[in-house]
Chain A
Amino acid sequence: MNKIEIRNLVFHYTAGEPILNDISLAFDARSTAIIGQNGAGKTTFVKLLKGLLKPVGGDVVINGINTSDATVAALARHIGLVFQNPNDQIFKNKVLDEVMFGPLNIGQSQDEARERADAALAMVGLAGRINDNPYDLSLSERKLISIASIVAMNTEIIIFDEPTIAQDFSGKEHIKAIIRDLVAQGKLVLTIIHDMDFVAETFERTLVFAQGRVLLDGSTREVFAEEEVLRQAHLEPPHVTQLAHRTGLPGTPLTVEEFVREKRAQGAMRPVTP
């Protein structure tokens, strides 16, 4: 059974202004990136998965439960969502309370919740801040707190909405490691993100949203090979891929290492011109 099934999903905020048009999708175990233009409907889409919004038409089924038949709280045992804006998510006065809130609500024991909260905070590099007031932290730290709060819930499905906002190099590396770790545990990870380099290095599957539809759906390498289609969707391939494309390097390399390897291989094959 797929953990998430979406059938003919239709949604709008105001009648006559469609946001999502007839989307049908299934998510398997592959880590998946959702990319697309501002306003394409990505956040709306994941709020529908989470049950915070209900479909205007069609069905969203999470672990066999139709979101229209369940409360958000009941769905929360199965699916966690890190909000795009941490200010919309954080409401406790102590970091530890914030991170333990979800785990305790979905039935983890005090000890287990504490253990998972500590582990999640360590993963985002904020283990030393458990007693701080989240309101005193900077945007980048608040984003990491909101990630830890969801990771600690240990749900089967985890969705990140723009996890790398305000993150520096090491923050992004932390988040990459978290995603890889979750995937290794067999969880389904979906991530909305505008950082194409991050997508290239992290996700197996990529979906391109445009005007309420799925424009492309395939392995990340396949999707990033479609430069023309990406441009139509206000996107661009990762920097590595751009350079490869310009220099005529075949095979859509996605990382610096891949590029260097391909280029060396190509150089070795080509006869040296004097």
Chain B
Amino acid sequence: MKALSLYQDNGTLIHRVDPISKLLYIAAAIFIPVVLTGFTAGLAMLGLSLMLLVLARVLRKVVPLIGFSMLVLISVVIIQGLFYAGNRQVMFALGGVHFYREGLLFSAAICVRVLNILCAFALLVLTTRPSDLIESLVRQGLSPHFGYVLSSVLQIIPQMTGTMETITDAQRSRGMETEGSLMVRLRAFLPLIGPVVMNSLVSTRERSLALEVRAFSSRAQKTFLNEERVSTSNRVIKIVLLAAMAAAVAWRVVS
């Protein structure tokens, strides 16, 4: 089992921003468009997230994620474009089927919102070491046990991939064909499931043993190897984000 993760160690400016600020950014990215309802706010936010992803040089990693969610989103666009309750004005017709303006606008808003959330989360996950995220949450008072559970959840996909690789190696080493055509790989997938689940259960138990002997449950005040990053720039980021959210609320109330 490998401690893989989605994290990309590019060492950019974005990587040095502390995890709490990034969490706050996610909150802002969700909150502001909701408060400001309209289309542009969401689009602007999405633009900002994409820009930050480019800055962090992780855009390439996001593309497959976006691609996958597109599959779902396109179906949303089609369904809403055709059947949205408020549909009045026909925008265009395709092979005799009418798409309505209201439905398309509505679904576009949904798309922007989903992509927006996706990119904001991607920014956190791809540029933050999971251990750093947990550590800063524990510093903020989160229980270490809960932190550990959270980190296991964050790492569940990379961990499963690691276990699958190990078991695949064990299987092909003993003559089971796992390489080649899609059919072969699909056929190899089924016999993987049982062992992966079993392996995960066993290693969870072993891991908790490893944690216990390293005093994980100790009630002593924990200390941290890595120094807390309390730079002014990080504080400024937080203040700006909070201010932006407050401004959005104020704008909404006033207008």
Asked if A and B touch directly (CB within 8 angstroms), the answer is yes
Chain A residues in the interface with B (C-beta under 8 A): 50, 52, 71-74, 76-77, 80-81, 83, 88-93, 101-102, 105-107, 135, 149-150, 153
Among B167, B176, B194, B199, contact of A105 (Cβ-Cβ < 8 Å): B176
Please state if B172 and A72 are interface contacts (CB–CB under 8 Å): yes
Complex contact A72–B179 (CB within 8 A) = yes
Cβ–Cβ contact B175 & A50, under 8 A: no
Interface positions of B (Cβ within 8 A of A): 166-167, 169-180, 194-195, 198-199, 202
Question: Which residues of chain B are near A77, meaning CB under 8 Å?
Answer: 175
Q: Which of A71, A89, A90, A105 contacts B179 (CB under 8 A)?
A: A71
Q: Which residues of B contact A74 (CB under 8 A)?
A: 177
- Tell me if B's interface is mostly helix, strand, loop or mixed: helix
Question: Distance in Å from the Cβ of A77 to the closest Cβ of chain B?
Answer: 7
- Can you name the residue of chain A whose Cβ is closest to the Cβ of B178? A73
Cα of A90 to Cα of B198 in the assembled complex, Å: 11
Chain A residues positioned under 8 Å from B176 (CB to CB): 73, 101, 105
- Distance (Å) between the CB of A220 and the closest chain B CB? 28
* In the bound complex, CA of A58 to CA of B186 (Å): 32
In the A-B complex, the 4 residue pairs with the smallest Cβ-Cβ separation, listed nearest first, are: A105-B175, A102-B174, A91-B195, A76-B175
Residues of B within 8 A of A150 (CB): 174
Assuming A91-B198, A102-B174, A105-B175, what are 8 further A-B pairs, CB within 8 angstroms?
A: A72-B169, A73-B172, A73-B176, A76-B172, A77-B175, A88-B170, A105-B174, A153-B174
Q: Are B172 and A71 in contact (CB under 8 A)?
A: yes
Determine the distance from Cα of A208 to Cα of B171 in the docked complex, in whole angstroms.
30
Beta-carbon contact of B198 and A93 below 8 Å: yes
Name the distance in Å between A54's Cβ and chain B's nearest Cβ.
12
Closest Cβ of chain A: how far from B4's Cβ, in Å? 14
The docked-state distance in angstroms from the alpha carbon of A149 to that of B202 is 21
Give the contacting residue for B173; candidates A50, A93, A107, A135; CB below 8 A.
Answer: A50
- Whether A149 contacts B198 by the Cβ 8 Å rule is no
* A243–B199 alpha-carbon span in the complex (Å): 46
Of B179, B195, B198, the residue contacting A73 (CB under 8 A) is B179
- Provide the bound-state CA to CA distance between A73 and B169, in Å: 10
Known contacts A135-B198, A135-B202; decide if A91 and B170 are in contact (CB<8 Å): yes
In whole angstroms, how far apart are the Cα atoms of A74 and B179 in the complex? 10
Decide: A102 and B169 in contact? CB cutoff 8 A.
Answer: no
Q: Are B177 and A73 in contact (CB under 8 A)?
A: yes
Alpha-carbon gap, A207 to B199, bound state (A): 35
Q: A72-B179, A91-B195, A135-B198 are contacts. A101–B174 as well, Cβ < 8 Å?
A: yes
- A106 smallest CB distance to B (angstroms): 4
Question: In whole angstroms, how far apart are the Cα atoms of A194 and B171 in the complex?
Answer: 27
The CA of A150 and the CA of B173, in the complex, are separated in Å by: 9
Assess whether B179 is in contact with A91, with CB atoms less than 8 Å apart. no
Given contacts A91-B199, A93-B198, A135-B198, contact A149 B175 (CB under 8 A): no
13 contacts between A and B (CB under 8 A): A71-B180, A72-B172, A73-B176, A76-B174, A76-B175, A77-B175, A81-B173, A88-B166, A91-B171, A91-B198, A101-B174, A105-B176, A150-B174
